[in-house]
Structure 1
Amino acid sequence: MTKMKYTNYIKFAVILTGMMLSNSAKAQNDTTIVNRKEKKIVIIHKTHDSAEMSDRDTVEIRWNNDSFVQIYDKKPRGIISSGNMNLGFANVYKPGNYTQGAYMYSAFPELKNGNSMHVGLENNWGFNMIKGKLRFWMGLRYDIMSYRFNNPDIRLLGDKSYFTTTVDSSSSSIKSKVVVNYIGIPVSIGYQSNPNQVEDGFFIRAGVNGGYRVRTHSKVKFENDNKDKVFDDFNFNDLAITPFVYIGYNSLGFYARYTTTPVFKEGQGEEAYAVQFGIIMQ
């Protein structure tokens, strides 16, 4: 019995030595299974450039009914990067009742549902908080809000003290909209099932984006395919503070955003708040 145990230990040492030598080679990526009657040894190798123990994956060794398990957990990365694109719909919420003629400014025109679009491009850096699955995120973002009016004859007048619109029914226009562009810094807290990659598994994130308006223009398209653009601020607010939430799985998800700062500068337009929702692609 003693001799048999001694022989088993020698076999174990030989195989373990072979495992260590194979780990010293670069870019190993294989699984080795050795069966000897009732004995089974499973050696798992994965690609790593470093031979440090902290960088190795799980090595599991089973001998007869006794289990010898050595686990080297790869530490989650301290900082990871993730980019995404938001594609959805843009709208405005108007809590008050606008009375024609009661204010110096014009009402925000009725929007055409399904044709007012939002596009957002974002890149974030996630800082590890708990085991790589809970992270603090910060990044850079660019948003385009394209508000298409239900009435194609609506015209926005620039260089005014108040948001001002008029109607031009004689120009055969087929589309009228205003496009607002923001650059921003989003900050958020997020959970992800994969500690090192957001795009692999479940993810959820909630935060706020601080945006600054960088450009605004109106655009009218006519029946003859001519287009007319006017660049002005149209009294839109320079700042947009927007809480948001993301939820999804792998590379697809959903988002919702609600801007808590008014669409227009104080006293220069109807009380209205921007809303966006749609899908995330990352």
Structure 2
Amino acid sequence: MQKLYTLIICTLLVPSMMLAQSSDDSKKGEKDNNSVDIIVIDENEEKAIVGFPKAKVEFDECNDTITKITLGHKRWEFIEEDDKTNVRMVHIPREKFKGHFSGVQLGFCNYMGPDHDGSLPAGADFLELNSGKSMAVSINLLQYNIGLQKRKKNVGLVTGLGWTVYNYRHDNQYGIQVNDQGTTFGNPIAEPVDKSKIVASYLNIPLLLEAQIPSAKDRCTAFVSAGVYGGFKLGSHTKIKYADGDKQKSRDDININPFQYGAMVQVGYKVLKLYATYNFSTLFEDGKGPEIYPYSVGLTLVNF
């Protein structure tokens, strides 16, 4: 009867697990037709196993845990005690170090003056920000992890590739242009302006050292990472919205720095994850605009 019970569970689970793994199997099959992962069945008089990588069902009639269902890093155990069947979930510790970079981040962006404080340099009033509406959005698509320990899995290096869009919002009567000397300046506008902004996007590559604090179950509950990043500009533009509703968008070069580099810090506890970045490079090219240093602070909404 127990084997029949297990067989029913296997019959229900295996098709869904096959669908979940089909994409991985097809990719492996493309690389080597002789090494495609398939369902493996192992059975003797006392035990039966049906499964494949990251998913399997186990039956053992000589153990109180009569059935184990494993999906990824979680395992459900069906335990038979006193003519009752109880179910418990067990977390399976990860086999390799995995850091926190890939995902979606949302934050506020701003900049500091040459003294690394909140004051703007002389003649840079046209860059005064509406800091509550200046946002940075990052989509970090790629991540590569390098574990630094042989036995433990909670310290390592993290790198990858991310795309960030910085939206610097200004509420003033200036348009941002370049004069005949090639310097960025604020050109006063006579017509009432509702808002204006600078938008710049960069591809960034970080190198972070991360330390994690695992729980009693060897599961990461908190982490801190710090390091440096560098990036190159994909594009930039300015946009003005007038009070009468008209809009003006320009992709003219206003000397936005084609490269950026700086420091990055991340801290997290369970679902709460914060980050901060600070540029050692200026927003504008050296000598071609006000000396200001961008920074951003925000939340990691989701990790991939």
Shift of 1:222: 2.2
- Residue 287 of structure 2 is matched in structure 1 by 267
Asked whether the 8 Å contact 1:90–1:117 carries over to 2, the reply is yes
Tell me: CA distance 1:205–1:46, structure 2 relative to 1, closer, same or farther (3 Å).
farther
Asked whether the 8 Å contact 1:30–1:46 carries over to 2, the reply is no
TM-score scaled by length of structure 1: 0.69
- Residue 98 of structure 1 is matched in structure 2 by 121
Which residues of 2 match residues 127-276 of structure 1 at below 5 A? 127-130=146-149, 131-151=152-172, 153-158=173-178, 161-170=182-191, 172-193=192-213, 201-276=221-296
Higher deviation after alignment, 76-85 or 254-263: 76-85
Shift of 1:173: 2.2
Question: Which of residues 50, 55, 60 in structure 2 aligns to 1:25?
Answer: 50
- Residue 47 of structure 1 is matched in structure 2 by 70
Are residues 1:84 and 2:107 paired? no
Shift of 1:128: 1.9
Letter of the structure 2 residue corresponding to residue 164 of structure 1: F
TM-score scaled by length of structure 2: 0.64
SS at match of 1:264: coil
Letter of the structure 2 residue corresponding to residue 25 of structure 1: V
**Unmatched 5+ residue regions in structure 2?**
1-43, 76-91
Post-superposition Cα deviations, 1:209-268, rounded to whole Å, max 9, x if no partner, equal 111112111011123433211102311211110211111123431111100111111111
CA distance in 1, matches of 2:110, 2:59: 53
Post-superposition Cα deviations, 1:37-71, rounded to whole Å, max 9, x if no partner, equal xxxx667845279xxxxx9x9xxxxxxxxxxxxxx
SS at match of 2:168: strand
SS at match of 1:114: helix
Post-superposition Cα deviations, 1:1-31, rounded to whole Å, max 9, x if no partner, equal xxxxxxxxxxxxxxxx976x23x33322689
Shift of 1:164: 1.6
Tell me: CA distance 1:92–1:79, structure 2 relative to 1, closer, same or farther (3 Å).
closer
SS at match of 1:266: coil
- Residue 68 of structure 1 is matched in structure 2 by none
Higher deviation after alignment, 211-220 or 245-254: 245-254
Letter of the structure 2 residue corresponding to residue 149 of structure 1: H
Question: Which of 1 and 2 has higher RCO (CA within 8 Å, sep 6+)?
Answer: 1
CA distance in 2, matches of 1:179, 1:78: 36
Post-superposition Cα deviations, 1:145-179, rounded to whole Å, max 9, x if no partner, equal 1111131x210114751112111132x32111111
CA distance in 2, matches of 1:200, 1:231: 45
- Residue 127 of structure 2 is matched in structure 1 by 109
Letter of the structure 1 residue corresponding to residue 148 of structure 2: M
Shift of 1:81: 8.4
Identity across aligned pairs (percent)?
A: 25
Asked whether the 8 Å contact 2:222–2:269 carries over to 1, the reply is yes
CA distance in 2, matches of 1:81, 1:183: 18
CA distance in 1, matches of 2:178, 2:60: 69
Asked whether the 8 Å contact 2:126–2:174 carries over to 1, the reply is no
- Residue 70 of structure 1 is matched in structure 2 by none
SS at match of 1:233: coil
Are residues 1:119 and 2:133 paired? no
CA distance in 2, matches of 1:48, 1:118: 36
Letter of the structure 1 residue corresponding to residue 110 of structure 2: N
SS at match of 2:284: coil
SS at match of 2:171: coil
- Residue 11 of structure 1 is matched in structure 2 by none
- Residue 277 of structure 1 is matched in structure 2 by 297
CA distance in 2, matches of 1:173, 1:29: 69
Tell me: CA distance 1:186–1:82, structure 2 relative to 1, closer, same or farther (3 Å).
closer
